[in-house]
């Protein structure tokens, strides 16, 4: 019986090595041709959504900001005891029929205090919509706080709401 278990383990290990090798040979290590249009696989988004529900939320008062076209609003983000907080934003109006146009409607930028998180590239984050999620986005807010900068395109007034 011990021999049978050992043989099964070897077969599983060899199959795993073959699958891993095939995956590595398909990815030549070169970056995607158009990094600006990168979209993670759907399973990674599902895992992120599941795990994100357990991460500490980010609260602001007020939670909704109406930004006049072409103007910029800066918001001071207070420090908190959590190392990482997820700030999820909803932008309205949302042009779902033409997502690339929505991507330029609003921009949300987070700048940490004293370059906190620079080792993880979280010290300066920007969200401006994506083709897949043109109206909703998230940024990671760090422990020491920082500054959020909200802006809308010159041609339209928009509302940015923290969810």
User: What percent of the chain stands above pLDDT 70?
Assistant: 71
Q: Encode pLDDT of 78-109 as tens digits.
A: 998 888 888 888 888 876 555 444 445 788 99
User: What value does the mean pLDDT take over residues 11-40?
Assistant: 63
Q: What is the 3-state secondary structure (H, E, C) of 85-105?
A: EEEEEEEECCCCCCHHHHCCC
Return the higher-pLDDT residue of 111 and 153: 111
User: What value does the mean pLDDT take over residues 144-155?
Assistant: 89
User: What value does the mean pLDDT take over residues 65-75?
Assistant: 90
| Nearest residue to 160 via CA among 109, 84, 111 | 109
Q: CA-CA distance, 52 to 45, in Å (whole number)?
A: 10
Q: Encode pLDDT of 30-45 as tens digits.
A: 554 544 444 555 554 5
∠ CA 54-55-57 to the nearest 5 degrees?
115
Measure Cα distances from 40 to 4, 35, 48, 163 in Å: 40, 11, 11, 23
Provide the pLDDT for residue 75. Answer: 92
Return the higher-pLDDT residue of 66 and 56: 66
- Tell me: pLDDT of 55 over 50: yes
Provide the pLDDT for residue 2. Answer: 80
What Rg value do the Cα atoms of the chain yield, rounded?
Answer: 21
Burial class (CB in 10 A: 0-12, 13-18, 19+), 99: middle
- Lowest mean pLDDT of 25-29, 72-76, 113-117, name the range: 25-29
∠ CA 102-107-110 to the nearest 5 degrees?
150
């Amino acid at each position: 019986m011990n021999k049978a278990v050992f043989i099964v383990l070897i077969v599983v290990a060899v199959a795993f090595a073959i699958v891993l090798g095939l995956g590595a040979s398909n990815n030549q290590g070169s970056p995607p041709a158009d990094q600006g249009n990168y979209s993670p696989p759907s399973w990674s988004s599902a895992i992120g959504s599941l795990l994100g529900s357990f991460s500490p939320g980010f609260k602001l008062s007020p939670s909704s900001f109406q930004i006049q076209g072409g103007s910029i609003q800066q918001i001071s983000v207070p420090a908190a005891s959590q190392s990482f907080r997820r700030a999820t934003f909803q932008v309205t109006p949302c042009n779902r029929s033409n997502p690339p146009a929505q991507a330029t409607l609003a921009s949300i930028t987070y700048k940490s205090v004293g370059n906190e998180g620079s080792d993880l590239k979280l010290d300066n984050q920007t969200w401006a919509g994506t083709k897949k999620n043109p109206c909703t986005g998230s940024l990671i807010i760090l422990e020491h706080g920082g500054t959020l900068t909200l802006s809308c395109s010159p041609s339209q007034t928009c509302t940015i709401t923290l969810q």
